[in-house]
Structure 1
């Protein structure tokens, strides 16, 4: 049973105007079996939080800690974080020309587990996961994200989530660019991942619509690089009805 603990995290980034602080003291604990939704307006720093956990070199941690089961995540390289059990579904997945989806998935699984999956079992697992996500079998032979629609990219991210089976998953605006049918399919995939009750999930979003399919245990309002309010699922409905205005005022943003 894993725990991702973030304590008083401050993060800066280089801009044309100089160094800018984006995260201004973020504290959050995600235990196994918990789903945390982080909601906030554009530019509030939500994606910065996701990429900092994953180890993107653009972001500099100036103070604070991130640990996974007591281990120092900030001391790990990006691949070490993945092997430790962290997973990031990106808002804008990158294209990887010349690498097929099937090769990419098997290589990733081998790197994380430290050994190649048994081919017969692996082919069955991939086919089952693709079928569940309504993905055509030919998808496996396409180059990673090359020419993919928004919905195909997000299904591919969810396919990775199910097959790599991390301890804690961070989904950065997985609902963006999805029509209602694709949203349902992707949400079902995420719910399959967390159905065992032993996975942690951090779900970053602007809107409540995905939370109608992936029910959160906790909702956090994120404004100007910090959490300004926390509550249960009812807080998301309040945001839907009232927007972020009073929270922006509260944060002085």
Structure 2
């Protein structure tokens, strides 16, 4: 069983006024097969954590560590992190003109595995995943996310997740912009991948509605760049009723 371990992580970004601290000592351990939900108000550092794990160059790690099975993630390039088993589903997936979905996915799979998947098997797997995500097969020959609706982009992210089979997935507000039908399809996709592969999930969200379909094992409340409280699924229910006011008052 793989483990992703974050210890005393401090992260900043460069601004016109100098470095601005965002993460202020984050400790978090995720085992494969677990679902961890991170909830919190806007500007609390949730997305910064996601992009730091993925290796976004905008963010500077001032101190602390991120390890995957004892290996130092912070010393890895972005592609090395992907090969080690990390996956980021972005809040705003980008368009890639001139690159079809099928070519993009097969190239990514080849890079991760070190060899190209057999064509016949690949086509079957791709079509099966797209069918499960209720995406028309014509999307395979369209350019990546170009002209896709918000829901179609998020469905495509889960197709990537299912085909690339990472050890850990960071889902950065995957529920944003989804109507209830798309939310159900996307949630079912995450659950399906988790059950079939033992995926570990770090699910970042503002709201509890996605947690009605993806049940977390642990809920972490993020405020002012650190974890203010931790608990089980019942903590999310309490946040739905009470909001984040009491945490923000405590840090004011």
Normalised to the residue count of structure 1, the TM-score between the two structures is: 0.98
8 A contact 2:228–2:247 mirrored in 1: yes
Distance 1:25 1:219 in 2: 17
**CA offsets per residue over residues 29-68 of structure 1, 9 Å max, x none?**
0011110000001111100000000000000000000000
Deviation at 1:16, TM superposition (A): 2.4
Structure 2 segments unaligned to the other structure (5+ residues): none
Partner of 2:190: 190
CA contact (8 A) 1:222 1:228 kept: yes
Map of 1:206 onto structure 2:
206
Q: Which runs of 4+ in 1 moved over 2 A?
A: none
Q: How far 1:198 moved relative to its partner?
A: 2.4
Question: 1:153 and 1:123 mapped to 2: Cα distance?
Answer: 20
Equivalent residue runs for 1:102-121 within 5 Å: 102-121=102-121
* Offset, 1:17: 2.1
Q: Which residue of 2 aligns with 1:218?
A: 218
Q: What is the number of equivalent residue pairs in this alignment?
A: 252
Q: Please list, as runs of the form range in 1=range in 2, the aligned pairs for 1:73-88 lying within 5 A after superposition.
A: 73-88=73-88
Query: TM-score scaled by structure 2?
Result: 0.99
Q: Give the distance between the partners of 1:17 and 1:192, measured in 2 at CA.
A: 46
Distance 1:248 1:116 in 2: 50
Note if contact 2:165-2:197 (Cα within 8 Å) is conserved in structure 1: no
Contact 1:94 1:145 in 2 (8 A): yes
In 1, the alpha carbon distance for the partners of 2:11 and 2:114 equals 32
Q: CA RMSD in A?
A: 0.8
Give the structure 2 partner of residue 180 of structure 1: 180
Separation in structure 1 between the aligned mates of residue 197 and residue 136 of structure 2, nearest angstrom = 29
CA contact (8 A) 2:96 2:143 kept: yes
The question of whether the paired residues in 1 share the 8 Å contact of 2:13 and 2:22 is answered with yes
Once the two structures are TM-superposed, the CA of residue 197 in structure 1 deviates from its matched residue by 6.5
Which stretches in structure 1 are left out of the alignment for 5+ residues?
Answer: none
